[in-house]
């Protein structure tokens, strides 16, 4: 049975440092804004600034706020890189041990005065080899910390993340201190790239005292930090995580932590909703770590994109292709002929004799075995087909654009809001090697702020735009809505919705926009523009250049394996590898993972599909009127 949402709400709390309060009253105000009345309290401000924080206990009690646990930090911790925190983190550095010991004694006394029974901290990097230098010393220091808190009948929780769960479990087993447990943070396992959170929490079950609710994305660049994100938008599979907690009968506190971003209260409110929904939903989850759950897929539209998607499904262990659908282009004896597109040419696909073949969508939707409908049909068909599939109770993956107009996309979103299935538009550049890492670069300011950015996507006129079913004039939207929308979406992904756009371009005799150059207006920067069109004499190319405060990042597909070049100031240019599956495989694997683990897609949402259309429509208006258009 799922967890009880009402009871779960009474176990939720917020980390005080996540709200960045200036004083106890400010903390009360911000806590009330989150809708929660329980807090894990940072003890260091009380020790360092008693004049400001000395009356914290009385102020919180008067406001009806309960302190569920405490937290203290260590002196000299440097989180600028993974290597720096490995050296400076926790109680590991000898140079800081005496001062840390003094502060820990003070923190224990403060915690006792507040009536706390549990206090957490980062002990520092735990060597994976017990024979490694420093392991025995860390054990001894942890015993000292445990004794200090045990004198006040207080338990201590070690934060997870800087080491694998197996290494931490081995340390705790050897430590064998009854008052030492674990404050489990699933996001830290991802930020430090130290394993799967669901499997890790099972490993650490005997020591589990408290859980932090935080989310993250693993780093696409080995040796760098992962990216902390709003709960529900990262790689923690929350339904599976809560299923694991339920199976182990965990009844401790669940404390929301947010250590990045500028909208902390809103992010905490969003996290609360994810927790309540994920923990109480009846959708099935993957209960066994590492087990694959298969999604039954049907691909509709068997042109280049349909064939591309089919190939991705056939190579993915989470997918089982059960049906295909096309009005005219059908497999023969289970073999679907390959086609050419702007990125690559596909070979024939052998579907086998068991894949069912349909000519009409309504017949496919009557197939009870189909769970996910993948729409790779012409743009004018998208809105009606997405709505039909959602209303039939299916999950839907729809190629871009989500619809021909933003008005039609809004109708889709209205249906999706109450439909049992998930809807995800295909925005492959968010997953493309050499591009996907930019989200982390921009958010973390890896090379400083982005000062200027340009994007380019150019192709020869596609053959399908000139013939057959597809020769529908402006109904398809031309290069603006078919090609350039990739970069419009990516600009929004990196920098948010622009305040306005100014566009110029080339309009074909039939009225479609075949080439567009757009300046996206962001007050205060960065300067961003993108160019896209079908005027290239031959072939296809995509590129970007980001000028940051400390480096220039340049990608050009024409350079092949050396496509991505990073030039930091004062350093020679270096080529970064862009290994891994392409964006088509990446987005499909992400969606299958979401569905198999009963969580809605967050990296790309239906709302993102609508926003991309709204911006493109503003670009078209600007191009046709010669004016800047506000959004």
407 lies in the same domain as 527: no
- The rounded distance, in Å, linking the Cα atoms of 300 and 394 is 13
Closest CA to 499 of 526, 467, 476, 471: 526
605: part of which helix (H) or strand (E)?
A: none
**Cβ neighbours of residue 340 closer than 8 Å, sequence gap 6 or more:** 304, 346
Query: Which CATH number do you get for residue 255?
Result: 3.20.20.150
- Which residue range is the domain that position 441 belongs to? 430-630
Return the CATH number at 326.
Answer: 3.40.50.720
pLDDT score recorded for residue 348: 79
Which residue pairs from 306-311 have beta carbons closer than 8 angstroms and sit at least 24 positions apart in sequence?
306/374, 306/376, 307/336, 307/338, 307/339, 307/346, 307/349, 308/341, 308/346, 308/584, 309/374, 309/376, 309/397, 309/584, 309/588, 310/336, 310/349, 310/351, 311/346, 311/349
Nearest Cα to 372, choosing from 346, 400, 357, 392? 392
**Do 423 and 437 sit in the same domain of this protein?**
no
Residue 22: how many other CB atoms lie within 10 Å: 11
Taking Cα atoms as reference points, which of 179, 158, 142 lies closest to residue 71?
158
Look at phi and psi of residue 452 and say left if phi exceeds 0, alpha if psi is from -120 to 50, else beta.
Answer: beta
**Sign of torsion, CA 93 94 100 104?**
positive
In a domain, 289, yes or no: no
* Same domain, yes or no: 397 and 469: no
Cα 233 from Cα 270, distance rounded (Å): 10
On whether residue 411 sits in a domain, the answer given is: yes
Domain assignment of residue 287, yes or no: no
Residues 175 and 312 in one domain: no
Using DSSP, state whether 146 is helix, strand or coil. helix
pLDDT digits (tens, 9 = 90+) for 26-73: 999 999 998 899 999 999 999 999 999 999 999 999 999 999 999 999
* The predicted structure's pLDDT at residue 274: 83
φ, ψ at 335 (rounded to 5°): -115, 125
CA–CA dist 299, 306 (Å, integer)? 7
pLDDT of residue 578: 81
- Give the integer Cα–Cα distance in Å for 135 and 124: 11
Residue 285 lies in a domain: no
Same domain, 566 and 528: yes
Domain boundary among 427, 452, 470: 427
The C-alpha atoms of residue 184 and residue 198 are separated, in whole angstroms, by: 11
**pLDDT given for residue 46 in this prediction:** 97
Assigned domain for 393 exists: yes
* Per-residue tokens: 429: 């550049």
Annotate 123-140 with DSSP letters as a single string.
--PPPSSTTSTTHHHHHH
Domain annotation covers residue 288: no
> Phi first, then psi: what are they for 608, rounded to 5°?
-60, -40
Whether residues 313 and 227 fall in one domain: no
17 and 51 part of one domain: yes
CATH code, domain with 607: 3.30.360.10
What's the gap between Cα 586 and its chain centre? 13
Task: Kindly give, in sequence order, each residue whose CB lies less than 8 Å from that of residue 426, ignoring residues fewer than 6 positions away.
Answer: 397, 398, 399, 400, 587, 604
Tokens describing residue 529: 């523009």
Continuous segment of H or E residues that includes residue 214: none
pLDDT in tens, 101-160: 999 999 999 999 999 999 999 999 888 788 888 899 999 999 999 999 999 999 999 998
In a domain, 169, yes or no: yes
For the chain, what is the domain count? 3
Q: Tell me how far apart the alpha carbons of residues 33 and 31 are, in angstroms, rounded to a whole number.
A: 5
Looking at the fold, whether 440 and 390 belong to one and the same domain comes out as no
* Counts of helices then strands in the chain (DSSP H, E): 22, 27
Peptide bond into 375 cis (omega under 30): no
Last residue of a domain, one of 427, 446, 466: 427
Do 252 and 127 belong together in one domain?
Answer: yes
Q: Is the pTM of this model over 0.75?
A: no
Q: Tell me, what's the pLDDT at 597?
A: 77
**What contacts 595, CB < 8 A, 6 or more positions away?**
295, 371, 372, 395, 422
Is the same domain home to 161 and 187? yes
Contact 30, 19 (CB under 8 A): yes
Weakly modelled stretches of the chain, pLDDT under 50: 1-6, 281-291, 343, 467-473
Residue 20: inside a domain: yes
3-state SS, one letter per residue, for 553-603: EEEEHHHHHHCEEEEECCCCCEEECCCCCCHHHHHHHHHHHHHHCCCCCCC
**Pairing mode, if any, of strands 527-533 and 513-521?**
antiparallel
Q: Quick one: 116 and 213 in the same domain?
A: yes
Kindly state whether residues 419 and 436 are assigned to the same domain: no
Are 165 and 204 spatial neighbours (Cβ–Cβ below 8 Å)?
yes
Q: How far is residue 137's CA from residue 557's CA, in Å, rounded to a whole number?
A: 51
Kind plus residue range of the DSSP H or E element containing 44:
helix 44-48
């Amino acid at each position: 049975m799922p967890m009880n949402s009402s009871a779960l709400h009474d176990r939720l709390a917020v980390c005080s440092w996540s709200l960045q309060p200036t004083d106890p009253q400010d903390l009360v105000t911000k806590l009330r804004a989150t809708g929660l009345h329980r807090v894990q309290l940072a003890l260091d401000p009380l020790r360092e600034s008693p004049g400001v924080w000395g009356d914290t206990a009385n102020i919180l009690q008067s406001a009806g706020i309960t302190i569920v646990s405490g937290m203290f930090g260590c002196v000299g911790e440097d989180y600028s890189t993974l290597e720096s925190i490995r050296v400076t983190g926790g109680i590991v550095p000898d140079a800081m041990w005496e001062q840390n010991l003094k502060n820990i004694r003070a923190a224990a006394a403060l915690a006792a005065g507040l009536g706390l029974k549990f206090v957490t901290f980062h002990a520092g990097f735990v060597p994976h080899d017990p024979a490694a230098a420093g392991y025995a010393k860390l054990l001894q220091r942890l015993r000292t910390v445990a004794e200090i808190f045990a004198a006040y009948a207080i338990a201590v929780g070690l934060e997870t993340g800087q080491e694998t769960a197996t290494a931490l479990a081995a340390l705790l087993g050897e430590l064998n201190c009854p008052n030492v447990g674990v404050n489990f943070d699933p996001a830290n396992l991802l930020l430090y790239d130290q394993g799967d959170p669901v499997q890790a929490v099972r490993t650490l079950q005997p020591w589990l005292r408290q859980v932090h609710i935080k989310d993250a994305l693993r780093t696409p660049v080995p040796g760098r930090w992962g990216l902390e994100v709003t709960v529900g938008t990262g790689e923690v599979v929350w339904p599976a995580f809560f299923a694991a907690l339920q199976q182990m009968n965990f009844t401790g506190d669940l404390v929301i932590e947010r250590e990045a971003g500028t909208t902390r209260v809103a992010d905490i409110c969003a996290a609360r909703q994810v927790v309540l929904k994920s923990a109480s939903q009846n959708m099935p989850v993957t209960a066994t770590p590492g087990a694959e759950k298969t999604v039954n897929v049907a691909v509709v539209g068997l042109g280049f994109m349909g064939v591309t998607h089919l190939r991705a499904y056939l190579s993915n262990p989470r997918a089982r292709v059960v049906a295909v659908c096309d009005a005219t282009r059908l497999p023969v004896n289970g073999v679907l002929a390959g086609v050419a597109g702007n990125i690559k040419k596909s070979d024939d696909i052998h579907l086998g004799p068991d894949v069912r073949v349909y000519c009409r969508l309504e017949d496919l939707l009557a197939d009870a075995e189909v769970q996910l409908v993948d729409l790779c049909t012409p743009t004018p068909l998208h809105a009606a087909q997405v709505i039909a599939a959602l209303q039939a109770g299916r999950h839907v993956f729809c190629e871009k654009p989500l619809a021909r107009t933003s008005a039609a996309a809004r109708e889709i979103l209205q249906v999706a809001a109450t439909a049992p299935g998930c809807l995800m538009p295909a925005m492959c550049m968010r997953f493309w090697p050499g591009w996907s890492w930019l989200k982390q670069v921009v958010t973390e300011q890896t090379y400083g702020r982005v000062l200027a950015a340009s994007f380019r996507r150019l192709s020869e006129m596609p053959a399908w735009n000139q013939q057959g079913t597809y020769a529908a004039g402006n109904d398809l939207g031309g290069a603006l809505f078919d090609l350039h929308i990739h970069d419009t979406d990516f600009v929004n992904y990196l920098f948010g919705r622009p305040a306005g756009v100014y566009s110029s371009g080339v309009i074909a005799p039939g009225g479609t926009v075949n080439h567009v150059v757009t300046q996206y207006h962001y007050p205060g920067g960065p300067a961003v523009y993108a160019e896209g069109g079908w005027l290239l004499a031959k072939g296809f190319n995509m590129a970007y250049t980001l000028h940051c405060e400390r480096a220039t990042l340049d990608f050009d597909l024409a350079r092949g394996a050396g496509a991505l070049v990073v030039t930091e100031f004062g350093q020679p240019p270096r080529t970064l590898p862009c290994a891994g599956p392409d964006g088509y495989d990446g987005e499909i694997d992400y969606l299958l993972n979401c569905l198999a683990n009963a969580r809605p897609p967050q990296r790309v949402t239906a709302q993102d599909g609508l926003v991309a259309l709204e911006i493109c429509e503003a670009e078209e208006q600007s191009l046709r009127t010669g004016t800047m258009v506000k959004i």
